[in-house]
Structure 1
Amino acid sequence: MQRAADVLIEVLKAHEIDRVFCVPGESYLNVLDALADYVGIDVVTCRHEGGAGFMAIADARLTGRAGVAMVSRGPGAMNAAIAVHTAQQDAVPLVLFVGQVERAHRHMAAFQEVDYGQVFGSMAKWVIEVNDADQLADRVASAFHYACSGTPGPVIVALPEDMLEDMVEGERGYRLPLPAAAASDSSLKQVASMIAKARRPLIIAGGLLKNEEGQRALQSAAEAFGIPVATAVRHADLLANDHPLFAGHLAYGAPAALAQAVGQADLVIAVGTRLGDVTTQGYVFPAAPHPAQPLVHVWPDASALGALRKTDAGLVADPDTFLMDLRKFAPASRDPDHEAWSRKLHQVAQSLADWHGPGDAEDGVVFSSVVQAANRLLADDAIITIDAGNFGGWVQRLLRFGGGRKMVAPSSGAMGYGVPAAVAASLRYPERQVVCFVGDGGFMMTGNELATAIQYGVNPILVISDNSAYGTIRMHQEKHFPERVSATGLRNPDFAALARDFGALGISVNDSSQVDEALRTALAARQPTVVSVRTSLQYISASATIEKLRERANSTR
């Protein structure tokens, strides 16, 4: 006989979970006690449940396994909700274990009681409350299966406090095999035929290829057919950006030159992406519901295929497997039209990385200076985490990704992701450079996880773009209500001094001439470091200044 809490640990072990992120709570004390006796699972105590959830998502991105977070009932679960939403938007497997009130107190408005099915039902793939300890192993095995199969995503497992104390007979840890999905030979031949007939085919590659096998399969298939590859939002690392078949990153507000260039495609093969509104630039390319060109869409869940836009071939298949199988039907030699088309798109993508503007403005450092220096100085296998915000446009445009250099960033647009993701990456790969680019707004949301990095002895570098504003919202204000600034200004602390108070290295940058030395110092320090850059608000994005935004807005009035 053993406690239900110990059974839970056995199930985690069966799923090869070696790390969980948590904020402790009295509602699952038995689980914490069980973890104390099991050395195979590293327990990372975080400073906020949102940070714990973001760390679990980033860890899932890096390992290919479901991320696991544990939080207490009520307020703890609500704080973790942002991670549930991000996992759903990003199609990342996440299992969130949440404490619950005692079973006898359910439906009595008990202290911190929440109906998790109602709260998370629209975001999670499955919400289950385990009231019978004898069913715990089965329900948790199902939870991991739901999280990882089909469209990956979040699952909520509610654990009543008293249930975790119940005794269960035997060791019950096991895992359910995931289903295999592959395209038929006839479908693969159809796709190969469509490629052969097209003059300007294009692959749009998405996050389900974000693993070593997926990236190898993507490059192999693209090279075999001579097809250029554009990457979905926040996945610019799927193919080395200097590879001749790299055709650009379809990020938020992609540059007009890129959008126009890829829009000339006469065949789109979307693999491992749901083709959401950001990647498709507002459902314009490929258009919904009627694309302007033939569309092959590959995703492991039938519900995502053909529901929003017409597909000429909607294939329920594992993206890695599809590309490996498609490779077998490649022609003996590349089509010259495909090669010319690939060269054209690659030239456009490369040209976007050129920036010849000023390094400084009257109100601070133009953030391009920081990103260009990072591109020169960072190792080829560096891990880059990016928070949400306009500063990210500079990172996505000027920093080279792929070829070993990873991008870990939320396509959900969730502020506060960057710092926790950097901590998770540093824990998973302590020997590699991990650099987080984050705005002042995002840092103030989850920058407290710097304490977690220090506690566990890992060394992320946090580069803060401090323009004293919620920059993205300010940009939209200037577009729609020029010169009418409302609620977007920020008064910030001295971030370098704050870092030192945490026990980290703090470096201030007030001029572009200081950037190289600051980054070199941070990279050599081998301790958690904050590089706080007084950033120009005038140069509010990689594509516009506030002055230009106002000119455009006023010209249309």
Structure 2
Amino acid sequence: MEMKGTELFVKALKEEGVETLFAYPGGMAIDLFDALYGQDEIDVVLPRHEQGLIHAADGYARSTGKTGVCLVTSGPGATNLVTGIATANFDSVPLVCFTGQVPTHLIGNDAFQEVDIVGVTRNICKYAVTVREREKLGEVIKKAFYIARTGKPGPVLVDIPKDIQQEYGSGEYPDTVTVRGYRPNTGVHAGQIRRAMDVLEKASRPVFLIGGGVNIARAQKEMTMLTEKTGVPVITTIMGKGAIPTNHPNYVGNIGMHGNYASNQAVTRCDVLFSIGTRFNDRITGKINEFAPHAKIIHIDIDTASISRNIQVDIPIVADAREAILKMLEDAKPLPVEEWKRQISEWKEEYPIHMKKYQGMTPQIILEEINKMFPESIVVTDVGQNQLWTTQYLELDEKRQLLTSGGLGTMGYGFPAAIGAQIGNPDKTVICVSGD
């Protein structure tokens, strides 16, 4: 059966299980809104600004594990998504962003509100495309959702010209899609895992360095089991915080320029650094030639390009964090690291991060009250000192989640992302932390 492009768009969203659409109307997207108006399965959330819209979709995606979906018009509507796309790209958040576009015969003519949004965003998302043939609309949308969700998650952009929206064509929406040149890793190299475990078992001062990839993979439970089984202490990046409960005896703290003394000393003194799901960015490494100078470095990451890009590693493993940890658990055994853990505990006690020298109410006091009063909550931060205080003092476990813009450090992220998190989790308390 033939249908308009707009009708196929709505059908595609339903087929992909989209329940919430963050959308702001405009001339080149109004036909898509008309098609959405005739259905009641997808909730359309109307923001006050497109940048707020995409941050809300980002917060929705991070807090629920679902794909965030956006719809805006062409030109300024599309360009207002750019910062949010870059934010999601840095932090591996699955988003599918639909933009209206001027009719195909006007593209390239400097038409009113025409912007080459694909050209603008190509380097800050996983996939960006303008649909130029009505018969390819369903395939392109299917491809967009597949790419956003698989491998290292991230944002994609689909630009739909107005004439493609209005044109009639096939109403078929594909069940599967093959993307040439895109082969996300789905397995684990058992030999490399065994090799890594052999190195770990011979270590006297090992540490796990955990990044956001473990949280993205929803592998917190498995990571906690791994540290308990081996006894190896855990250090996290800001994005990796919460990979194991922060009150766990094996948890040391954050690493890097915003980390604590014990974590940084442990990385400097360790003999095996077992990293899972981190990019080794400049905020955690400092001077590269002084980072973990005595350690053999093992690096697990789903993104091949992230391995040995900043820090040369000894054992590279390309794999999903959860799948790799499950494989490690098969061979994991208790390691003789008690003396090493005592040394780390001494560093923590000797050089704690606290604000006791300040009079009156401090950020530490506020966050400690949040820990007491809201044990089951989602805490979203903006960017600045508020973010750093939160990542130091907020306690995280399976009942409390932290959302923050890590890689891009996007100012203004907090409040709209908190709204998106609340929409996705209506029964939870969502707290937004802001201010310097």
Letter in 1 for 2:328: L
Equivalent residue for 1:436, pick from 423, 432, 435 = 432
| 1:93-125 alpha-carbon deviations (Å, 9 max, x no partner) | 221111111111111100011112321122122
Name the structure 1 match of 2:214.
209
Letter in 1 for 2:146: H
Name the structure 2 match of 1:402.
397
SS in 2 for 1:122: helix
SS in 1 for 2:194: helix
Name the structure 2 match of 1:190.
195
Shift of 1:324: 0.5
Name the structure 2 match of 1:324.
326
Shift of 1:11: 2.1
Letter in 2 for 1:245: N
Residues 1:384 and 2:379 are matched in the alignment: yes
Letter in 2 for 1:406: Q
| 1:437-483 alpha-carbon deviations (Å, 9 max, x no partner) | 012xxxxxxxxxxxxxxxxxxxxxxxxxxxxxxx5xxxxxxxxxxxx
Letter in 2 for 1:408: L
Name the structure 2 match of 1:266.
271
Q: Distance in 1 between matches of 2:288 and 2:234?
A: 19
Q: Distance in 1 between matches of 2:121 and 2:300?
A: 28
Name the structure 2 match of 1:225.
230
Name the structure 1 match of 2:136.
135
Aligned-residue Cα RMSD (Å) equals: 2.2
Which residues in structure 2 correspond to 1:14-25 (within 5 Å)?
Answer: 14-25=15-26
Equivalent residue for 2:296, pick from 285, 294, 297 = 294
Q: Distance in 2 between matches of 1:435 and 1:282?
A: 35
SS in 1 for 2:434: strand
Name the structure 2 match of 1:38.
39
Name the structure 2 match of 1:339.
338
SS in 1 for 2:369: helix
Given the two structures, how large is their TM-score scaled by the length of structure 1? 0.73
Q: Distance in 2 between matches of 1:220 and 1:369?
A: 31
State which drifts further: 140-149 or 107-116. Answer: 140-149
Shift of 1:355: 3.8
Name the structure 1 match of 2:423.
427
Letter in 1 for 2:298: V
- Identity among equivalent positions (%) equals 28
Q: Is the 8 A contact 1:383 1:406 kept in 2?
A: yes
Q: Is the 8 A contact 2:129 2:158 kept in 1?
A: yes
Q: Is the 8 A contact 1:11 1:174 kept in 2?
A: no
Letter in 2 for 1:168: G
Distance 1:403 1:275, change over 3 A: same
Given the two structures, how large is their TM-score scaled by the length of structure 2? 0.92
Q: Distance in 2 between matches of 1:255 and 1:247?
A: 8
SS in 1 for 2:282: coil
| 1:107-158 alpha-carbon deviations (Å, 9 max, x no partner) | 1100011112321122122210001111011111111222233332221111
| 1:239-265 alpha-carbon deviations (Å, 9 max, x no partner) | 111111112123653234431233222
Letter in 1 for 2:415: V
SS in 2 for 1:121: helix
Q: Is the 8 A contact 1:296 1:311 kept in 2?
A: yes
Name the structure 1 match of 2:115.
114
Which residues in structure 2 correspond to 1:125-164 (within 5 Å)?
Answer: 125-164=126-165
5+ residue gaps, structure 2, are none
Letter in 2 for 1:399: L
Q: Distance in 1 between matches of 2:427 and 2:238?
A: 27
How many residues get paired? 429
Q: Distance in 1 between matches of 2:364 and 2:393?
A: 7
Letter in 2 for 1:201: P
Distance 1:224 1:431, change over 3 A: same
Distance 1:309 1:358, change over 3 A: closer
Which residues in structure 2 correspond to 1:474-489 (within 5 Å)?
Answer: none
Q: Is the 8 A contact 1:128 1:158 kept in 2?
A: yes
| 1:24-52 alpha-carbon deviations (Å, 9 max, x no partner) | 22211122122223322221111111111
Letter in 2 for 1:5: T
Q: Distance in 2 between matches of 1:347 and 1:50?
A: 46
Shift of 1:408: 0.5
Residues 1:243 and 2:248 are matched in the alignment: yes
Letter in 2 for 1:425: A
Letter in 2 for 1:34: A
Q: Is the 8 A contact 1:286 1:293 kept in 2?
A: no
Q: Is the 8 A contact 1:215 1:239 kept in 2?
A: yes
Q: Distance in 2 between matches of 1:36 and 1:427?
A: 20
